[in-house]
Amino acid sequence: MHKKVTKAIFPVAGLGTRFLPATKSVPKEIMTLVDRPLIQYAIDEARAAGITEFIFVTSRGKGALEDYFDHSPTLEAELERKGKTDLMEVLQDTYMDSGAVAYVRQHKAMGLGHAVWCARRLIGNEPVAVLLPDDVIASDTPCLKQMVEAYEQTGGNVVAAMEVPSERTSSYGVLDVKEDMGNMVSVKGMVEKPEAGTAPSNLAVIGRYILTPDVLGHLDTMEEGAGGEIQLTDAIAKEIQASDNVYGFRFRGQRFDCGSKAGFLQATVAFGLAREELKDELQGYLNELAAVKQAAE
């Protein structure tokens, strides 16, 4: 029996410069996809996978994120007074059990590996999930739940992976595949943001990980990697050498890169179309746009 995965780290310390000026005063993770902040999607996914302890690695200026998961007595009292039970219901997902959330501060932007390392004392000798809220994944079975099932079979480290075009591999961590078993691949290496033409495969890592405590141990060395940052990919690569216990997992679902403007807009359309109350109006508008474009051609 493998130790259950009950803890998750959410690295949310980034400045979100790609979304300036919006992110000047609003944390990127609070930006809204339809009517829910990005972070809510990640939390929902983690909950659905059985996570009960949520660790946010934050930085200066992320106060709105802490407030988001707190009760808001004034708002609640007002909604209650007005009998708005439907809206009170909407707020339920934003509440966390007392003591279930912890915030750790990353004092300096030293990379994803460093952010995860900042949470090490709260993880101890347990497996941990890491979710990057920029990567939003639409799927019938939430991506992390699929990964927990894969972890329960292997007991090894599981990283979410998907095929990307060759010209995009330099934006990702990329897997060096040992054996391709379909949904699962065993891995003999992993490279962070390989230079064009040098990627070991087209299988890119997406921001969902289940990690054994040893990986966090490898981060202790604080070695700089790609971009002069302490990379999570490098710590996982060390674990591959040490234990040969790392698997790539081709998840079922569609991933949106909400760290880019185009990806965020695509996600907005896709999640809008998935909402019963919005889909007809939105689809009608998209049809109109397509018709106008066709007429102009």
Is there binding between residue 212 and ligand G1P (CB under 6 A)? no
Between residues 79 and 160, which has the closer beta carbon with respect to ligand G1P? 160
CB of 106 closer than 8 Å to CB of 118? yes
Q: Which stretch binds ligand G1P (CB under 6 A): 20-28, 39-47, 91-99, 200-208?
A: 200-208
Site string for ligand G1P, 123-142 (x = CB under 6 A): ---------x--x-------
Is there binding between residue 173 and ligand G1P (CB under 6 A)? yes
Report the distance separating Cα 132 and Cα 197, nearest Å: 26
Is there binding between residue 162 and ligand G1P (CB under 6 A)? no
Is there binding between residue 204 and ligand G1P (CB under 6 A)? yes
Is there binding between residue 240 and ligand G1P (CB under 6 A)? no
Is there binding between residue 205 and ligand G1P (CB under 6 A)? yes
Is there binding between residue 157 and ligand G1P (CB under 6 A)? no
Q: Which stretch binds ligand G1P (CB under 6 A): 18-26, 201-209, 260-268, 279-287?
A: 201-209
Is there binding between residue 38 and ligand G1P (CB under 6 A)? no
Q: How far is the CB of 180 from ligand G1P (least distance, A)?
A: 19
Place of tokens 């060395």: 221
Q: How many residues bind ligand G1P (CB under 6 A)?
A: 13
Q: How far is the CB of 234 from ligand G1P (least distance, A)?
A: 10
For ligand G1P, which residue has the nearest CB? 173
Is there binding between residue 172 and ligand G1P (CB under 6 A)? yes
Burial pattern 105-131, b for ≥16 Cβ within 10 A else e, equals ebeeebbbbbbbbbbbeebeebbbbbb
Between residues 5 and 137, which has the closer beta carbon with respect to ligand G1P? 137
Is there binding between residue 13 and ligand G1P (CB under 6 A)? no
Q: Which stretch binds ligand G1P (CB under 6 A): 39-47, 121-129, 198-206, 286-294?
A: 198-206
Is there binding between residue 207 and ligand G1P (CB under 6 A)? yes
Q: How far is the CB of 225 from ligand G1P (least distance, A)?
A: 9
Q: Which stretch binds ligand G1P (CB under 6 A): 36-44, 55-63, 98-106, 205-213?
A: 205-213
Restricting to residues 90-119, which ones interact with ligand G1P according to CB under 6 A?
Answer: 112
CB of 159 closer than 8 Å to CB of 249? yes
Contacting residues for 142 by C-beta, under 8 A, at least 6 apart: 44, 45, 48, 49
Report the distance separating Cα 190 and Cα 199, nearest Å: 9
Q: Write out the residues near ligand G1P by the rule CB under 6 A.
A: 112, 132, 135, 172-173, 192, 204-207, 232-233, 259
